[in-house]
Structure 1
Amino acid sequence: MPFINSNDGTQIYYKDWGSGQPIVFSHGWPLSSDDWDPQMMFFLNHGYRVIGVDRRGHGRSEQVADGHDMDHYADDLAAVVNHLDLHDAIHVGHSTGGGEVARYLGRHGESRVARAVLISAVPPIMVKSEANPEGTPKEVFDDFQAKLAANRSGFYRDIASGPFYGFNVPGVEPQEALIENWWRQGMMGGAKAAYDSIVAFSQTDFTGDLQKITVPTLVMHGDNDQVVPFHDAGPLTAKLVRNATLKSYQGYPHGMITTQHEVINRDLLEWLRS
């Protein structure tokens, strides 16, 4: 399996398929690059080179004890980009991966980047504060950490069968295969990485990173996102990025890249070709 060593020696796993303009996919918490299967297969078949990266401590990457913060995530992503010598790349991030993409652009610049896509992404900042009064209370994320530490397997099962895909919404039929695949990906990674990453995705302020982005950026967000609420994310991000396009989806959940992948893939391809 292909691995590279990041700046601090951490082994990072990646997939690299096809040829053409590269699309680099950054996954959400606590998953792996496998979460992008519907997108990687779709864009591979449309002539793109697709690259998926397992975040440190997640998936097949090394389960190190430290470095589970956005600066390290961005540096790990940069290490893969530099190793593969990617240019004119399209960076696509979902959820926590959207934060990773924003921090990568803010920290490493845009010289290798053509476009960016933030889907159901955590920026600008999730946690509630005086500066972000509409955010999610910190106690919610503290509870996430407590449940993960006590029973990670059960906690993951509850998330996948409930708010992540909107399977707790009346009239929505749960899809057992998706629940099991979410659980499988989460359990592949390390508990310490997932625990620390809750702080990283909820408390990191990406405002400065978003303001540095100048490449065309597509912001895609469902208005029934129970994990990263629409009102506190997508529209605010689109206002901060100077060359952004906001596309909202009525009734779509946080995990819409999976449950509504046909629509998301179609819209993303149309935007890339525009």
Structure 2
Amino acid sequence: MTRTADINGITIGYDDEGVGPAFVLVHGHPFDRSMWWPQVPVLTAEGYRVITADLRGYGRSTVVPGLTTLETFARDTFALIDHLGIDEEVVLGGLSMGGQIVMECWRLFPERIAGLVLADTFPQGETPEGRAHRNRVADELLATGMSGYAAANLPKMMASYNVPAMPRVAEHVHAMMLDTSPEGAAAALRGRAERPDYQKLLTTVTVPTLIVVGRDDEFTPVSDAELMHRLIPGSMLTVVDGAGHLPNLEQPAAFNAALHAFLDQ
């Protein structure tokens, strides 16, 4: 059963599992908190309290049309942490857009973060071409819905060879995309089109950081992960073989092993 919290003028759907230090996981676009289901039991077994929430516009959270910035998502994330009464520092992880939200959280709330996990994401600011593309896709989603987008992007979200090889995973990924509100997805795309460049910010990271990427990620290739690894002092880098943009779902054992090694250091 989905728990809900009223924060920042919206209702957030979330799960809160386990006891111990808080580990907050931020999902990517156009997904929801269920993308983290392979990680939650592993992290709770490691002694963490694991919080996964649906971002505004996604899953069971309030849809807010228009434009949603990464700063808004970041402030929602810590508003939920405050709502849950968590005063100690949290480990914060995110994948793709979720990773960029995590970077924004580091900009806004560095003193509240004990560690970072950046999965299949990139720190560069938007290009003019990228801004135009994201706004064009937002327009298309509002006009035609999620079905065409979901079909076209499934073999890019996962490594294309994993779609037929992992039908249950593919079904889950496809269903998350179909279930996403076009208005919510469009608002996030428009917000990401305005995002800043985080490369200089990453050089200021002073907490343990794990960077993970699927070997065959088309959206955020290994070179983006290597860039972040160079920028963040002392960071760990794990490249997951046999995976695309969603290694936590495509190769959960390898992804979870990377988390274990990171948390055990």
Confirm or deny a common fold (TM above 0.5). Answer: yes
| Structure 2 unaligned regions, length at least 5 | none
Q: CA RMSD in A?
A: 2.3
Match of 2:228 in 1: 237
TM-score, normalising length: structure 1: 0.86
Residue 192, structure 1, aligned to residue 157, structure 2: no
Instruction: Trace 1:1-274 onto structure 2 (pairs within 5 A).
Output: 1-7=2-8, 9-66=9-66, 68-86=68-86, 87-110=88-111, 112-125=112-125, 127-128=126-127, 137-138=130-131, 140-142=133-135, 144-149=137-142, 150-160=144-154, 162-167=155-160, 169=161, 173-201=164-192, 203-204=194-195, 205-231=197-223, 233-250=224-241, 252-274=243-265
Q: 1:146 to 1:176 in 2, by over 3 A?
A: farther
* Cα separation, 2, equivalents of 1:48 and 1:267: 16
What do residues 10-36 of structure 1 show as CA deviations (whole Å, max 9, x unaligned)? 111211011012211000101111000
| Structure 1 unaligned regions, length at least 5 | 130-135
Amino acid at match of 2:147: S
* Cα separation, 1, equivalents of 2:257 and 2:140: 37
Deviation at 1:193, TM superposition (A): 1.5
Alignment partner of 1:12: what SS? strand
Match of 1:132 in 2: none
TM-score, normalising length: structure 2: 0.88
Alignment partner of 2:24: what SS? strand
* Cα separation, 1, equivalents of 2:221 and 2:137: 16
> Are the aligned partners of 1:124 and 1:236 in contact in 2 as well (CA < 8 Å)?
no
* Cα separation, 1, equivalents of 2:251 and 2:39: 11
Deviation at 1:119, TM superposition (A): 0.5
* Cα separation, 1, equivalents of 2:192 and 2:174: 19
Percentage identity across aligned positions? 26
Q: 1:92 to 1:30 in 2, by over 3 A?
A: same
Amino acid at match of 2:65: A
* Cα separation, 2, equivalents of 1:226 and 1:203: 22
> Are the aligned partners of 2:59 and 2:179 in contact in 1 as well (CA < 8 Å)?
yes
